[in-house]
Every structure is written in structure tokens, then in C-alpha cells.
Structure 1
């Protein structure tokens, strides 16, 4: 779930991405989240929370999750930039993110661990540990897949706090 929050009548704006795990009775047993400042983008098309919200192609869930998993493994973990074009056109992909998040190709080889991948239809979500420019971040990537390619991305990330500040085992 990704949500826009307007706190105290505009005192603060946030984008929160949450991932919940439930038991067989649909009770929440685990939760992961990333929270970042919401910044109004002058280009509304690339706003952090703009874009389609309903998944399509429900019959392609498994193959779309596999496409994203392979992309993350080959390109973002192993840094194999020469195969990136099999999965995505970095030059033309709309990326919805906070303005301080660099374009996705700069993160090639920086993903330390892809912790979770979930999906429904053409929407696939990954939660990862990323080391970028000397900093560890927790990162959600939400991918829209169409015709066997990643065609749109939403990114929400936040720095992982020092271990002495962790609660409940930290971000992972």
C-alpha cells in the first residue's frame, strides 16, 4: 500500500509505502514501511502518487513477478547494465519519486538484498536493501509491467537508521 499523508492541516506531507504479512486468519503478523517527504512535482505526470491504481492483466502475475525478480537480480544487484534493455528502457521510463532520488540506472549494482517481491497482474512491488553513495537505504520499487517490459516505476526510500536506533529488528 502506498499512501499520501497530509498531517495537521498541511504542516507536513508524507508518502508512506507499507507491506503487511498476514497469517491464515488475515491477522497482520509482520510489517515493513518506508516514509519520505512528499514534494509536489511541477510535472503532475511524475508525481510520487500519480498514475494507475488498479492492476490489469491478472493472468500474468507470475510472469511479471519473475520479470521484475530477474531484472532486480541481473541489473540492480549484479550490476549487469548490458542486459538492462531486456527489461526496461531507462531513457524513457516515467519514474515517480521524491526529487532527491536519482534515476534508476544510477542504482545498478547497488542493491544488496531484495527482501520481498509481491505482485498482482501488471503491478509488482519489491522491498530492498540498497547501498548508494555510502548510505544504506530501505527502498520500495513499484513496477508497472506491460508486454514483457517494465514501463513505469514508483520509488520510495529512506535511510536506514544506525543500529542503536532500531526498533523490532530494524527495517529488515
Structure 2
């Protein structure tokens, strides 16, 4: 199996087929868990399978990108009250080694929206194209993260985001540079700080580039998982999930 197939099969066994035996065969016993509420190790997540099945939770995958040993999935979980909301939008990141899933990160946010431009948190483009430009697109988004999100040179935002077409899927923000600027201004006027302090991974596959970061939103220690679509050397679409990082977790692995 490819890296992607290993992850998709493991995800299906856990959240679609509810098959503990199949899941156990695809997860390393010492599987490293970064979800704050789930203990580490394969036995812990496999042990949740009957609970997930009985809850009636269903999963729907919108996008999958792969680079190296990492696979990023953009998912929706419905009937997810057992995990905190009726519907949760998530980015799940899995690392594969020796044919097994060995590590998992995620960031979940209750479904909200549509946003002022009528977009949902999960609709929009899905097709991966231009894989020959993966490195170029990754470099572009990496520079955007450094200059704009980390605040090293925020005035360069126009060099990275398309002024002609920028589709925004954050439930609070409208399309375009104007929508983004307006939302940031409203937050500033309300005294709400949004700050990216560290970016822990960037994964690129063709025209899609994913970044996992942490920082501050308001007064809360926060995880920001962002997915960008690049076209003709500019960022033209954006999805994200934002979630507070709890001080106490079910393991010692940390959020990242």
C-alpha cells in the first residue's frame, strides 16, 4: 500500500467501518497521539471504536494531501456530540513508517457559517493539480506564513494573496483581501489579539499547502491549522480550523 492508502484504510477502519481488528493491523502499537483528549497508544484509540459506532458518528473526507511520510485529511464528523459538537470540522495529520500509522495530530472546530461570502468551512476546490509545482508552492506559503502570519513583514500580504480572486472559508471572514483586512481590523478594534508564534509543519501536494501552527487568540493558547490553494503563484483559497490548546491533556505528547 502507498502511504496515502495506509492512512485512508486506517481512517476507514476507525471511523467508517468500525473495525477494531483492521485498525489494529494498521496502527503501530506505540502510536503517538496528539489529540488532547485521547490517551496515546494504538490500544486507546482502537478502544474508542465501539463508543464511536454506538454514538452514530459519521465521517466525510473532503480533501487528502500527501508529502513524504505525512498525510493530511480535511474531514467532517457528524453526530459528534461525544467529541463536543453536533458537527466538527477537522484537519487530521497522520505519519506513516514501515507500513503503519505511527503518529496523529488533529485540530477540530464546531461547524459554523456560512461566512459573509456564502462559503462553508469545507466546500470549494478539491482537485490536486500541478504536482510539478509542489516545491514552488510550498516555498510561497512558507514565506507567507513567515512574513504575514508571524508578522515579520505583514505589508507583503499582497505579494502572496491574489488581489483578483481569494476564496475564504473561515466562517467569520468574507472573500478577498478586503474581507481579510476588515476582519483583522474588527478584531483589533475589539482588543482581540491573534498571533502566530510557531509553525510546526508545512505539507504540500501540488496546488494545496497545509500549515499547522500555534499562537494566541484573545487570551487563549491556540492551534491554527490552515490549508491554502495556490494558483499561478498566488494564494487563491483558504480553509482553517482554530481550537484552544488545553493546559491538561490525556498524554504527555503535547498538541504538536
Shorter-normalised TM-score: what interval?
0.7 to 0.9
Structure with the greater alpha carbon radius of gyration: 2
**In structure 1, what is the equivalent of residue 63 of structure 2?**
none
**The 10-residue stretch of structure 1 (63-72 or 41-50) with the greater mean CA deviation from structure 2:** 41-50
CA RMSD of aligned residues (A): 2.7
Instruction: Verify: 1:55 aligned to 2:128, yes or no.
Output: yes
* Structure 1 moving runs of 4+ over 6 Å: none
**In structure 2, what is the equivalent of residue 118 of structure 1?**
203
Given that 1:143 and 1:152 are in contact with CA atoms closer than 8 Å, whether structure 2 keeps it comes out as yes
**In structure 2, what is the equivalent of residue 71 of structure 1?**
144
Name the structure where strand makes up a greater proportion of residues.
Answer: 1
**In structure 2, what is the equivalent of residue 7 of structure 1?**
79
The whole-number CA distance in structure 1 between the counterparts of 2:150 and 2:80 is 39
Gaps of 5+ in 2: 1-72, 174-178, 188-192
TM-score normalised according to structure 1 size = 0.85
Alpha-carbon spacing, 1:109–1:138, altered in 2? closer, same or farther (3 Å): closer
Alpha-carbon spacing, 1:74–1:147, altered in 2? closer, same or farther (3 Å): same
Gaps of 5+ in 1: none
**In structure 1, what is the equivalent of residue 93 of structure 2?**
19
TM-fit CA distance, 1:20: 0.8
The whole-number CA distance in structure 2 between the counterparts of 1:95 and 1:122 is 16
The whole-number CA distance in structure 1 between the counterparts of 2:206 and 2:243 is 27
TM-score normalised according to structure 2 size = 0.58
**In structure 2, what is the equivalent of residue 165 of structure 1?**
249
TM-fit CA distance, 1:29: 1.3
Given that 2:137 and 2:207 are in contact with CA atoms closer than 8 Å, whether structure 1 keeps it comes out as yes
